[in-house]
A and B are shown apart, each in its own frame.
Chain A
Amino acid sequence: MLKDITLGQYYPSESIIHKLDSRIKIIITLLYMVLVFLIKGFVGFALLGIFIVVLLKLSKIPAKFLLKGLKPLLFFIIFTVIINMFLTGGTRAFTFIIWDVTYEGIFTAIFMALRLIFLVAGSSFLTYTTSPIMLTDGMESLLKPFGKIGLPYHELSMMMSIALRFIPTLIEETDKIMMAQKARGADFEDGNIIQKGKALIPILVPLFISAFRRADDLATAMEARCYSGGSNRTKLKELHLGKKDFIALTIFVVFSVFVVLIGILNLEIRGF
């Protein structure tokens, strides 16, 4: 069922990682993404693997939960692997029917797959360990400097938080409508692609109607309470940078530098 999609969900728990300032977590996630693309050897990926395992332990998120979140990517990963394997030039390793597969191709394919997996696995910790409200608060605070050049940062973060807020609601709604149509004998599993597409109409029409109604209701409710965004709004929960946040950032930066250095050294050794 749709409820089983764990990617992008918040996993409530009382861990150290959960308590970190969301701004620090966003910055670390951005650095992590850069790091994933800087890694060019297996040693680096092994280190990243250890990093993920440590993160799992610290954040008390079950490994099963993380793996389930990766599942929707499977098709995407397989697709990239195949494309890279066949379309990279270099020394021929073997021939698959009529297409040449090169050593370089195999290597790039594996690296691309690992890169994708680590990219998603690592960055999903941000949403797993940060509640949506904290996340958008953090984003707003990080985007604030850009307000000077006219970026509507408050509106952007408001839109983000509303969108995030409604993901579970819409999933629940979809589930309910699916159940109601199933109770009337609708079939979502069998049939060819056209029949399957047609079977979606009884879900999509009610879903859109309810989404528009909800958006309307929300707008009315916000207006009724005289909502107006902007710099004068105060927050119930202010973000505070503490000692642990700086420690976390320092540890991550040191780790990144270490991983990159190892990678460079490793390349030099292989270069011989």
Chain B
Amino acid sequence: MFLEVENLSYTYMPETAFAKTAISDVSFCAEKGEFIGLIGHSGSGKSTLIQHLNGLLKPTGGSVVIDGENLNDKNVKLKNIRFKVGLVFQYPEAQLFEETVYKDIAFGPSNMGLSKEETDFRVHEAAALVGIKEELLSKSPFELSGGQKRRVAIAGVVAMKPEILILDEPTAGLDPRGRNSILKRIGELHKTTGMTVILVSHSMEDIANNVNRILVMNKGKLVMDGSREEIFSHVDYLNEIGLDVPQVTTVVNKLIKRGVKIPENIFTVEKACEEIKKYVESGGIKC
């Protein structure tokens, strides 16, 4: 297993009046090349969980093992772990600080101690991967639009070529076009580089379109872990914990209830269109 999380627990400000258990007893594993979606209501502990995966937070209980290295071990160099596990925070554009986009993307690679040529190569590669045009590289990151800033910030992490890429709500606050294009880029990134991607989101559509495995968190606990089909078949439970299935799935389920003969487990609009078209052409609907 490339990533192993075992009985992980974390309490903020333990032993004070502010003590708050954010996650408790979370265990899961991930293989290389998986595309995992992490969903949960706000405050369910998603963000806390992912901050453990590169050693930014020290667990109050349990352990995280990356590529055979236990992060609790004092001899493990956390800095190296952070190059292996790239973490893109929520609203990552808030971390931009350099004079030019180029320099900002190069911050990670130069911290790795890479040569100038290698850094240069990686900056251009990462910029291309997230869809930042060459001419933007010499601009100040503060002149860019919100969506572009977000992409620059993601490129800053991608340029480190991590083996696991974790994105915390990468589409929050973006318009539909910006959202779709970022998700598309992430999907392509996963395909071309083969890195493990963990996508945190509470948009079921974002998750349904991309991932093949879903982890569900509720009140600090990992309550479900399974394939897309499996998770989205538990509509009632998801509703109960403040989540939902993709809107198109709700529509399809209602159609099925009305006697329309289309298969269950449809999570994307494209797939739904295709199936409904098939059904109509086969003469299912009489006008």
Asked if A184 and B160 sit within 8 Å, CB to CB, the answer is yes
Known A-B contacts A183-B157, A209-B142; A13 and B89 likewise in contact (beta carbons under 8 Å): no
State A202–B83 Cα separation when bound (angstroms): 18
A236 interface hit (Cβ, 8 Å):
no
State A201–B97 Cα separation when bound (angstroms): 8
Identify the closest chain B residue to A189 (Cβ). B79
Asked if B95 and A177 sit within 8 Å, CB to CB, the answer is yes
Shortest beta-carbon distance, B244 to chain A, in Å?
28
Q: For B223, what are the chain A residues with a Cβ–Cβ distance below 8 Å? A: none
Q: How large is the interface on B (under 10, 10 to 19, 20 to 34, 35 or more residues)?
A: 20 to 34
Known A-B contacts A180-B95, A182-B82, A184-B157; A65 and B112 likewise in contact (beta carbons under 8 Å): no
Identify the closest chain A residue to B56 (Cβ). A179
Identify the closest chain A residue to B54 (Cβ). A183
| A64, A65, A176, A182 pick with most chain B CB within 10 angstroms | A182
Asked if A11 and B157 sit within 8 Å, CB to CB, the answer is no
Asked if B112 and A185 sit within 8 Å, CB to CB, the answer is yes
Q: For A184, what are the chain B residues with a Cβ–Cβ distance below 8 Å? A: 82, 95, 107-108, 111, 156-157, 160
State A209–B96 Cα separation when bound (angstroms): 10
Is chain A's binding surface mostly helix, strand, loop or mixed?
helix
Q: For B95, what are the chain A residues with a Cβ–Cβ distance below 8 Å? A: 177, 180-181, 184, 202, 206
Q: For A187, what are the chain B residues with a Cβ–Cβ distance below 8 Å? A: 79, 111
What string of 1s and 0s marks CB contacts (under 8 Å) between A163-199 and chain B? 0000000000100110111111111000000000000
Q: For B97, what are the chain A residues with a Cβ–Cβ distance below 8 Å? A: 201-202, 205-206
Q: For A182, what are the chain B residues with a Cβ–Cβ distance below 8 Å? A: 56, 82
Known A-B contacts A179-B51, A179-B56; A186 and B111 likewise in contact (beta carbons under 8 Å): yes
Cβ 8 A contact of A12, one of B17, B111, B157: B17
What string of 1s and 0s marks CB contacts (under 8 Å) between A124-154 and chain B? 0000000000000000000000000000000
A240 interface hit (Cβ, 8 Å):
no
| B15, B111, B160 pick with most chain A CB within 10 angstroms | B111
State A233–B156 Cα separation when bound (angstroms): 49
Q: For B92, what are the chain A residues with a Cβ–Cβ distance below 8 Å? A: 180
Cβ 8 A contact of A62, one of B16, B96, B157: B16
B13 interface hit (Cβ, 8 Å):
yes
B59 interface hit (Cβ, 8 Å):
no
Shortest beta-carbon distance, B168 to chain A, in Å?
10
A220 interface hit (Cβ, 8 Å):
no
Shortest beta-carbon distance, A216 to chain B, in Å?
14
Identify the closest chain A residue to B89 (Cβ). A180
A243 interface hit (Cβ, 8 Å):
no
Q: For A186, what are the chain B residues with a Cβ–Cβ distance below 8 Å? A: 107, 111
Within 8 A of A (CB), among B68-118: 79, 82-83, 86-89, 92, 94-97, 107-108, 111-112
A235 interface hit (Cβ, 8 Å):
no
State A209–B143 Cα separation when bound (angstroms): 13
Asked if A180 and B54 sit within 8 Å, CB to CB, the answer is no
What string of 1s and 0s marks CB contacts (under 8 Å) between B32-51 and chain A? 00000000000000000001
Asked if B111 and A185 sit within 8 Å, CB to CB, the answer is yes
State A205–B142 Cα separation when bound (angstroms): 11
A210 interface hit (Cβ, 8 Å):
yes
Q: For A225, what are the chain B residues with a Cβ–Cβ distance below 8 Å? A: none
State A201–B99 Cα separation when bound (angstroms): 12
Asked if A185 and B79 sit within 8 Å, CB to CB, the answer is yes
A270 interface hit (Cβ, 8 Å):
no
Identify the closest chain A residue to B157 (Cβ). A184
A3 interface hit (Cβ, 8 Å):
yes
Shortest beta-carbon distance, A140 to chain B, in Å?
27
Identify the closest chain B residue to A187 (Cβ). B79
Within 8 A of B (CB), among A1-24: 3, 11-13
Asked if B87 and A183 sit within 8 Å, CB to CB, the answer is yes
What string of 1s and 0s marks CB contacts (under 8 Å) between B145-161 and chain A? 00000000000110010
Known A-B contacts A177-B94, A180-B95, A184-B160; A11 and B89 likewise in contact (beta carbons under 8 Å): no
Within 8 A of A (CB), among B256-286: none
Asked if A13 and B17 sit within 8 Å, CB to CB, the answer is yes
Cβ 8 A contact of A183, one of B82, B94, B142: B82
Extra contacts besides A64-B15, A185-B107, A206-B94 (13): CB < 8 Å: A176-B94, A179-B51, A179-B89, A180-B89, A180-B92, A180-B95, A183-B54, A183-B86, A185-B82, A185-B160, A201-B97, A206-B96, A210-B94
Chain B interfacial positions (CB closer than 8 Å to A)? 13, 15-17, 51, 54, 56, 79, 82-83, 86-89, 92, 94-97, 107-108, 111-112, 142, 156-157, 160
Name the 5 nearest CB pairs between A and B, nearest first. A185-B111, A205-B97, A180-B95, A184-B108, A183-B87
Q: Can you list 27 A-B contacts with CB-CB less than 8 angstroms, sorted by A residue number?
A: A3-B13, A11-B17, A64-B15, A65-B16, A176-B89, A177-B95, A179-B56, A179-B89, A180-B89, A180-B95, A182-B82, A183-B82, A183-B87, A183-B89, A183-B157, A184-B95, A184-B108, A184-B157, A185-B82, A185-B111, A186-B107, A186-B111, A187-B111, A201-B97, A202-B95, A202-B97, A206-B95
